[in-house]
A = this chain, B = another copy of it.
Amino acid sequence: VSSLRARAVSGIPELHAGDDLAALIVAATGPEQPSDDQVVAIAHTAVSKVEGAIRMLAEVQPSERALQLAAAAADAGVDHATDARAIQVALDESSEVLRAERGVLICRTHHGFVCANAGVDASNAGREDSLVLLPRDPDTSARRIRARIGDLTGATPAVLISDSFGRAWRHGQLDVCIGLAGMQPLDDWRGRTDASGMLLRATWLAVADAVAAAADLARAKDSREPVVLIDGLQRFVCDEDGPGATALLRPTVEDLFR
């Protein structure tokens, strides 16, 4: 019988730049250390904090464009999107702004992720005068954490880094995978057949995104539990680091909604 199990790891302390996140995870898991066939899912804010991917608002000089966007948000009555410095930080993290309406900024980040405010987040920063960015290269972060867990324990579980993204046509946010090592991001059934022998023409499953979503269900949002251990995904876990979350990005040439 197939089965999936996800459980939050308690006891990860408040994190700061330079902290050894892998060591803190290993310490917090206690005697039940991560194993080779598990996935360690980590909310990106934890990775961003230890990597120092933080901007202090006081050090941001908003551009003319950021000031205009802030004024437009104020005109639209969107009070929480009127800080031109926060908008500037989102612009700095973006290669392209897809939409800027009613205080909503939909960006393509330098990594290629399409999300609100380029993934820049005021909550969970730990202080009101700072913003948490996405890690600079989340796949590399995942590989580094995976290797370090291997050094510390002898086991190399898959490591998945997630962020909560909104969706174009649905309410609410869903955690998606933004960094990955040791697991295949996609499960390709195209050209294979289903139980009835029918060709599965389009079936190409974003398993890493499903794992990110499942992990988020195992913790409460106010619980300070950035790490979740997941069992039951042996068929997707692999020895090599694999292509990472980058493989989940649809190339802009295929984008029908620019």
Binding site for B on A (CB under 8 A): 1-8, 10, 14, 80, 99, 101, 104, 106, 108, 113-114, 116, 122-128, 164, 166-176, 185-187, 189, 192-196, 198-207, 209-211, 213-214, 216-225, 232-233, 235, 247-250, 255-257
Contact = CB atoms under 8 A, between A and B. Distances in A.
A218 B205 contact: no
A233 B106 CA distance: 31
A80 to B, nearest CB: 5
Nearest to A9: B1
Contacts of A174: 205-206, 209-210, 213
B249 A194 contact: no
Contacts of A10: 1
Nearest to A220: B2
B210 A214 contact: yes
| Majority-rule SS of A interface residues | loop
B5 A4 contact: yes
B203 A210 contact: no
B201 A221 contact: no
Nearest to A231: B5
Contacts of A218: 2-4, 232
Q: Which 6 A-B pairs have the closest CB atoms?
A: A172-B206, A214-B214, A114-B169, A195-B224, A213-B213, A210-B213
Contact of A1 (B7, B221, B232): B7
A174 to B, nearest CB: 5
